[in-house]
Structures are given as C-alpha cells and as structure tokens.
C-alpha cells in the first residue's frame, strides 16, 4: 500500500499499454526519482515511513467514516419527522454510541498504535551508526563505530547505503530540535542532555530531503538537510574518499584561496582536515565542495553561493553563528570560494 505506489502505478500502466514495458519501467523510474525530492509523508521510500503512512490512512479513513456517521445522525435528528426519532433518545442508543463506541474504538486504536510503534523499533541490528547533533542552525554528522567512537565528521548531509537498517543517535546541546526525513521515517526530538535513537532504511538510491521539525530559533526554517542513499559499493567508495584529508589545491589561484582561508581565521570555527584549520564551532569543511548544499540545505553548493555566504552570512541567515566577512575583496572572495568548491 502507499500513495506513492498508487501514484506511479497509473502512469506505469498507461505507458505500458502505449509503448511497452521497457520504456514504461524507465518512465516510472524517472517519475519516482522526481517524486523523491518532494518532502512528503505520503511519498514513502522506506519501511518505517510506509508503516507510518498506513497508520495515517487508517486513522484518516476511520475518522472520516465516523465524522460522516455523526453528520448523518445530526441531519436525521434535525429533519426526520418526530415519530421517527424516538429511538434517538433511547438510553441504549446514547450509552452505546456515546460511551461504548468511543471507548472500544479508542482502545483498538491504542493497541494498533502500540503494535505499529513496536514494528518501528524492532528489527535487524544496524549496519551503520550515525550520530546527528542539532546545532544553531545546522546539523553536525558523526559516523561512529560500535563503541561510539567518531570515525568521520561531516555536516548537513547524511549518506547511507540502501536496504540496510541505519541507527541514528540524536543529540543536541542547545535547544530542542527535531530530526525528520518524511519520506524515510517519523520525526524524533533532539533534547539537550538526552540521547534519542531511531532506526530506518532507504529502499532505493536517491536524495531525500529532511528538515528540523521543532521550532528552534529564528532560522529554524533554514535548518534542512539531505539524506543521500547509495548502493553499498558506491557508499563504501564515498566513505573511503570522505574519510581522507582535503585534496591539495591543483592551481595557484586555489592555493591562494587556501592561504586566505587560514589568514582570515576561518580555521577558528571550521576544520579542513590536512590543514591547520581545526575549529569545531561551525560545520566541517573538509569535503564541503562535494555536498549538495551549504548553510543547512539553504543554497546549492557552487562558487557563487559560497562567495555570497562568506561575505554576507548574517544577511542570508541572520543571527547564525558565522560573522559576515564583508571586508574581503572580490578577488579574495572568489579565491576562497573556489578553494572550498574544489574540496570534493
């Protein structure tokens, strides 16, 4: 079941009729890849989200039916001739629909809800553990081993292998945030002083958008991220690259960018592994050029947005913890941006 399956089944059947199954499979694949970008609980790409979607439909349809019944009874009570209405003041009717029915329905729903919840938290041991820490206003991402030791640091983007259960260890030090990737799983709060754990998997490769789902300050709306799911082999290749230090500048202009990055004190807040920049206040930038977005899902990563961000961070995301570097000249800004963009 699931709205997504239904919404792609129709075009799939149509194209199969018109142009044969091969083209139809390709068309469906394309539709599916496009749908994935839409942040929706009704377009599910993993078992956790699917379970929740089914629960939503059960509640929605159930509530709709009960609402319709109430409307019909109300209309009847108002419009039916008095001699047809006698049974409505009957004690059994009032106790039956007024007390027994809600108690039975709500109890059934509670039991069903608990069973669904159980399905969400049990399952195979995780293939990978990722610690995600809610910051003001971005996401710190740690890939950790079985003992919880940090193996790899990244930010605002989470890569996972498909088809394997992934454990997310959710934390924060400032205020309450909520970690939510609607197409893959439900939401779970990140609470200061607590660790919450959730598990989910992605059923097919692709890019899924996530969002902070608990108001956490002025720039809460600009606190998004992406989950990128790869087949296992591609994931392993990515991980090996990502764990390495930043690549060396290939041309003098980019080397100049690296110098300016250090000279301007960016390293006080940012780490670029392989250089002397080792700050931890802001996102790790070792491979920032390889990420889809900067400033927590706010802008696509390219030289233009990077330069704009560096010179006007406070204008683009007021009150975030990075100062604007309006003092930099155009040439310097371009060099730093080109350097960061080269860090794939």
The contact mask relative to ligand HEC for 137-176 (x = CB under 6 A, - = no) is: xx----------------xx--------------------
DSSP 41: T
182 binds ligand HEC (CB under 6 A): no
Stretch that binds ligand HEC, among 20-28, 162-170, 191-199, 283-291 (CB under 6 A): 283-291
Q: How far is the CB of 336 from Cu ion (least distance, A)?
A: 27
- Residue 314 contacts which entry, ligand HEC, Cu ion, none (Cβ below 5-8 A, type-dependent): none
Applying CB under 6 A, which of residues 43, 198, 216, 266 lies at the interface with ligand HEC?
266
Report CA-CA distances (Å) from 50 to 95, 132, 200, 342.
37, 23, 11, 38
CB 73, CB 89: distance < 8 Å:
no
212 binds Cu ion (CB under 5 A): yes
* Other Cβ atoms closer than 10 A to 339: 26
CB 172, CB 133: distance < 8 Å:
yes
DSSP 183: T
Phi-psi region at 12: left, alpha or beta (left = phi > 0; alpha = psi -120 to 50)? alpha
Burial grade of 314 (CB within 10 A; 0-12, 13-18, 19 or more) = middle
295 binds ligand HEC (CB under 6 A): yes
Is beta strand 139-144 parallel, antiparallel or unpaired with respect to 177-180?
unpaired
CB 143, CB 127: distance < 8 Å:
no
- Residue 212 contacts which entry, Cu ion, ligand HEC, none (Cβ below 5-8 A, type-dependent): Cu ion
212 binds ligand HEC (CB under 6 A): no
Convert 253-277 to b/e letters by CB count within 10 Å (16 or more is b): ebebbbebbeeeebbebbbbbebeb
136 binds Cu ion (CB under 5 A): no
Stretch that binds Cu ion, among 89-97, 145-153, 169-177, 313-321 (CB under 5 A): 169-177
Is beta strand 293-294 parallel, antiparallel or unpaired with respect to 196-200?
unpaired
- Residue 177 contacts which entry, ligand HEC, Cu ion, none (Cβ below 5-8 A, type-dependent): Cu ion
Applying CB under 5 A, which of residues 51, 130, 213, 216 lies at the interface with Cu ion?
216
Number of residues counted as binding Cu ion (CB under 5 A): 4
- Closest CB to ligand HEC among residues 221, 281: 281
Residues 314 to 333 in contact with Cu ion, rule: CB under 5 A: none
Q: How far is the CB of 176 from ligand HEC (least distance, A)?
A: 17
Residues of this chain that interact with ligand HEC (CB under 6 A) are 137-138, 155-156, 261, 264-266, 268-270, 281-283, 285, 288, 291, 294-296, 306, 309-310, 317, 320-323, 325, 336, 340
Residues of this chain that interact with Cu ion (CB under 5 A) are 177, 212, 216, 223
């Amino acid at each position: 079941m699931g709205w997504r399956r239904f919404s792609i089944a129709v075009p799939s059947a149509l194209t199969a009729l018109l142009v044969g199954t091969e083209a139809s499979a390709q068309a469906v694949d394309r539709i599916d890849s496009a749908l994935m970008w839409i942040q929706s609980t009704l377009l599910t790409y993993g078992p956790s989200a699917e379970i929740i979607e089914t629960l939503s439909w059960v509640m929605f349809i159930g509530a709709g039916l009960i609402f319709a019944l109430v409307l019909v009874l109300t209309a009847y009570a108002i419009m039916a001739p008095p001699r047809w209405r006698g049974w409505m003041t009957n004690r059994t009717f009032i106790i039956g629909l007024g007390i027994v029915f809600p108690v039975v329905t709500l109890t059934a729903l509670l039991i069903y809800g608990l069973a669904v919840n159980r399905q969400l938290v049990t399952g195979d041991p995780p293939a990978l553990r990722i610690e995600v820490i809610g910051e003001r206003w971005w996401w710190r991402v740690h890939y950790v081993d079985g003992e919880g030791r940090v193996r790899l640091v990244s930010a605002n983007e989470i890569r996972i292998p498909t088809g394997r259960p992934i454990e997310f260890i959710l934390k924060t030090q400032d205020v309450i945030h909520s970690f939510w990737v609607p197409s893959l799983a439900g939401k779970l709060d990140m609470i200061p002083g607590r660790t919450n754990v959730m598990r989910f998997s992605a059923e097919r490769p692709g890019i899924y958008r996530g969002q902070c789902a608990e108001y956490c300050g002025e720039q809460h709306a600009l606190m998004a991220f992406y989950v990128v799911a790869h087949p296992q082999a591609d994931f392993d290749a990515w991980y090996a690259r990502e764990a390495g230090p930043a690549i060396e500048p290939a041309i003098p202009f980019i080397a100049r960018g690296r110098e300016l990055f250090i000279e301007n004190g960016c390293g006080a807040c940012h780490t670029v592994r392989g250089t002397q920049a080792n700050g931890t206040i802001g996102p790790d930038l070792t491979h920032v050029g390889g990420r889809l977005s900067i400033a927590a899902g706010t802008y696509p990563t390219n030289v233009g947005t990077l330069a704009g961000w560096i010179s006007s961070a406070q204008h683009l995301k007021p009150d975030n913890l990075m100062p604007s570097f309006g003092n930099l000249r155009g040439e310097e800004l371009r060099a730093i941006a080109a350097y960061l963009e080269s860090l794939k």
